[in-house]
């Protein structure tokens, strides 16, 4: 199936274009879930809690790749829309090399300070050793993970989203197979889960380098050049434009850390384990919206570069309708399958299963509306307005949700932790409605301004 950025997009063409990216992100999200499943069932509750404590901090590093990829993918698509193909290739090459170097440096620093980071995250002495083992081994694959996150956006800009899906499938299969071998068969515990994740991340990050750098393999519309000088203004533009995606993921990690601190205070390891399962399911659900946004951002960015206001307006309206329908379907399935989801991970503990089921039923209501807010943030990235995009992301998590996590439990008790995300998403939806009307009025009215 051929995917191109140009031309008119109806509902069917939008869905054909975004499905490969949705599949790619969904499969990528399997990494943490597979680790959690095997560790919880074959290494115990303490190891499971250790993995959940370390995961948010590791995602903060991986999100650097998403920042460069999201902002850079939109920038490259815009330049292509303006008709400058060679310039787009130079920018693409420069951003990929910058991302790889960033992953190496940040991974090394994280490995050096892993014990300190684990203590900051709230690890007690009983969990410290497993936290350090998991964190340091995973850092071996961090350069690959950062690249993998960046290429998620570049695949669509290169008009090859199917390749992203294929690579996610390959990486996911590698991760599952190695988890089964190391954690289940060889009983390596959290160390085995970390090795499986690191290898899968390296597979997902290194292959695109080979593909886009090969004249024989590459069938996309972007090519990595052998020689190109560093142009810092473009790197700065890509990073600032993708800052909202980075803030969103950083905020998610910071909020997860705060959730864990609150839950350790009120419920101990059981609370952290329950929240870990909630996050696994929520991560899969959010991957659908993230995949949609990864695909739609370069498309809108291309038409922004081509100055096609009518197509931008059409894409905006159709996206709001599609995301609303998807959100309703996801919330319904989450409510129906909350108990089976809980039993899948902690069916061996009846009390923890009941706690997790209740948490899922409350927390997952947020998917009724959160997709719209996530799309609005991606929309402004496509329109090269990284500041407004960052405001939407910053307010969504670091202001609204973080505040609710600390305030609501004091008002309504422990259930306030699970309700925090729903209140925060409602406030964010109101803010995003204002931002679109104020900074992108051409999308909601037929009058060009």
Q: What is the pLDDT of residues 159-185, one digit of tens each?
A: 888 888 888 888 888 988 998 999 889
Helix axes 386-394, 232-241, angle to 10 degrees: 40
Reported as a pLDDT band with limits 50, 70 and 90, residue 448 is: very low
**Residue bearing the bigger pLDDT, 199 or 241:** 199
**CA dist., res. 297 & res. 221, Å (int):** 17
Higher pLDDT, 165 or 193: 193
Q: What is the pLDDT of residue 98?
A: 94
| pLDDT of 32 | 62
pLDDT for 449 beyond 70: no
232-241 vs 85-112: helix crossing angle, rounded to 10: 70
1 falls in which pLDDT band (50, 70, 90)?
low
Mean pLDDT for 399-425 is 87
| Average confidence (pLDDT) over 82-107 | 92
- 367-388 tens-digit pLDDT: 999 999 999 988 998 888 878 8
Q: Would you mind telling me the total number of residues written for the chain in this entry?
A: 449
Across the range 435-442, mean pLDDT stands at 90
Q: Quick one: pLDDT at residue 320?
A: 95
Mean of the per-residue pLDDT values for the chain? Answer: 86
How much is the pLDDT for 153?
Answer: 81
Residue 446 pLDDT level (bands cut at 50, 70, 90): low
Give me the percent of the chain exceeding a pLDDT of 70: 96
Residue 31 is predicted with a pLDDT of 62
- Name the residue with higher pLDDT: 91 or 66: 91
- The band of 35, judged by pLDDT with boundaries at 50, 70 and 90, is low
* Structure token digits, residue 285: 């659900």
What's 441's DSSP letter? G
Cβ pair 73, 220 in contact under 8 A: no
- The model's pTM: 0.72
Q: Would the pLDDT of 77 be above 60?
A: yes
Radius of gyration (C-alpha) of the chain in whole angstroms? 21
**Do residues 285 and 277 touch, judged by C-beta distance below 8 A?**
no
pLDDT, one tens digit per residue, over 128-161 is 888 999 999 999 999 999 998 899 888 888 888 8
Query: Is the pLDDT at 447 greater than 60, yes or no?
Result: no
- Which of 82-96, 151-165, 264-278, 364-378 shows the lowest per-residue confidence on average (mean pLDDT)? 264-278
Write the secondary structure of 64-123 as one string of H (helix), E (strand) and C (coil): HHHHHHHHHHHHHHHHHHCCCHHHHHHHHHHHHHHHHHHHHHHHHHHHHCHHHHHHHCCC
Residues 71 and 241: their CA atoms lie apart, in Å, by 5
Q: Which residue has the higher pLDDT, 417 or 93?
A: 93
Residue 201: which of 126, 134, 144 has the closest Cα?
144
Q: How far apart are CA 221 and CA 61, in angstroms?
A: 29
Contact 51, 190 (CB under 8 A): yes
CA distance 9 to 423: 34
pLDDT-derived band at 90, boundaries 50, 70, 90? very high
pLDDT higher than threshold 80 for residue 266: no
Tell me how far apart the terminal alpha carbons of the chain are, to the nearest angstrom. Answer: 37
CA pair distance 406, 410, nearest whole angstrom: 7
- Integer Cα distance of 407 and 162 in angstroms: 44
Quick one: pLDDT at residue 228? 80
Which of 28-32, 120-124, 190-194 has the weakest average pLDDT?
Answer: 28-32
Question: 3-class secondary structure for 127-183?
Answer: HHHHHHHHHHHHHHHHHHHHHHHHHHHHHHHCCCHHHHHHHHHHHHHHHHHHHHHHH
Distance CA 277, CA 341 (A): 8
């Amino acid at each position: 199936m051929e995917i191109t950025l140009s031309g008119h997009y109806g509902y069917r063409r939008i869905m054909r274009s975004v499905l490969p990216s949705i599949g790619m992100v969904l499969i990528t999200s399997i990494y943490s879930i597979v680790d959690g499943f095997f560790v919880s069932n074959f290494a115990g509750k303490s190891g499971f809690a250790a993995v959940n404590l370390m995961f948010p901090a590791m995602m903060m590093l991986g999100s650097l790749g998403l920042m460069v990829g999201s902002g850079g993918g939109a920038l490259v698509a815009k330049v292509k829309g303006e008709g400058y193909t060679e310039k787009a290739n130079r920018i693409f090459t420069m951003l990929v090399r910058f991302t790889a170097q960033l992953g190496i440096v940040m991974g090394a620093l994280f490995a050096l300070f892993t014990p300190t980071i684990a203590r900051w995250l709230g690890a007690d002495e009983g969990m410290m050793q497993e936290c350090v083992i998991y964190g340091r081994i995973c850092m071996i694959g961090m350069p690959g993970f950062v690249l993998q996150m960046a290429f998620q956006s570049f695949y669509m800009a290169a008009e090859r989203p199917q390749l992203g899906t294929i690579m996610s499938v390959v990486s996911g299969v590698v991760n599952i197979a190695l988890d089964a071998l190391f954690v289940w068969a060889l009983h390596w515990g959290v160390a085995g889960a970390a090795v499986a994740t690191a290898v899968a991340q390296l597979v997902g990050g290194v292959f695109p380098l080979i593909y886009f750098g090969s004249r024989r393999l590459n069938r996309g519309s972007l090519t990595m050049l052998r020689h190109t000088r560093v142009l810092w203004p473009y790197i700065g533009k890509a990073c600032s434009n993708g800052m909202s995606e980075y803030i969103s993921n950083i905020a998610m990690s910071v909020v997860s850390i705060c959730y864990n601190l609150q839950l350790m205070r009120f419920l101990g390891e059981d609370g952290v384990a329950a929240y870990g399962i909630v996050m696994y399911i929520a991560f899969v659900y959010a991957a659908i919206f993230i995949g949609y946004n990864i695909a739609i951002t370069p498309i809108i960015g291309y038409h922004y570069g081509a100055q096609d206001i009518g197509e931008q307006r059409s894409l905006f309206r159709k996206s709001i309708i599609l995301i609303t329908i998807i959100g309703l379907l996801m919330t319904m399935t989450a409510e129906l399958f909350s108990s089976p989801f809980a039993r899948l991970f902690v069916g061996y503990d009846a009390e923890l299963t009941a706690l997790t089921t209740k948490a899922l039923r409350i927390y997952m209501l947020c998917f009724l509306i959160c997709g719209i807010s996530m799309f609005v943030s991606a929309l402004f990235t496509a329109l090269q307005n990284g500041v407004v995009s960052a405001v939407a992301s910053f307010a969504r998590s670091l202001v609204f949700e973080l505040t609710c996590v600390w305030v609501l439990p004091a008002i309504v008790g422990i259930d306030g932790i699970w309700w925090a995300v729903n209140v925060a998403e409602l406030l964010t939806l109101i803010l995003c409605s204002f931002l679109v009307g104020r900074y992108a009025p051409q999308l909601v009215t037929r009058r060009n301004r």
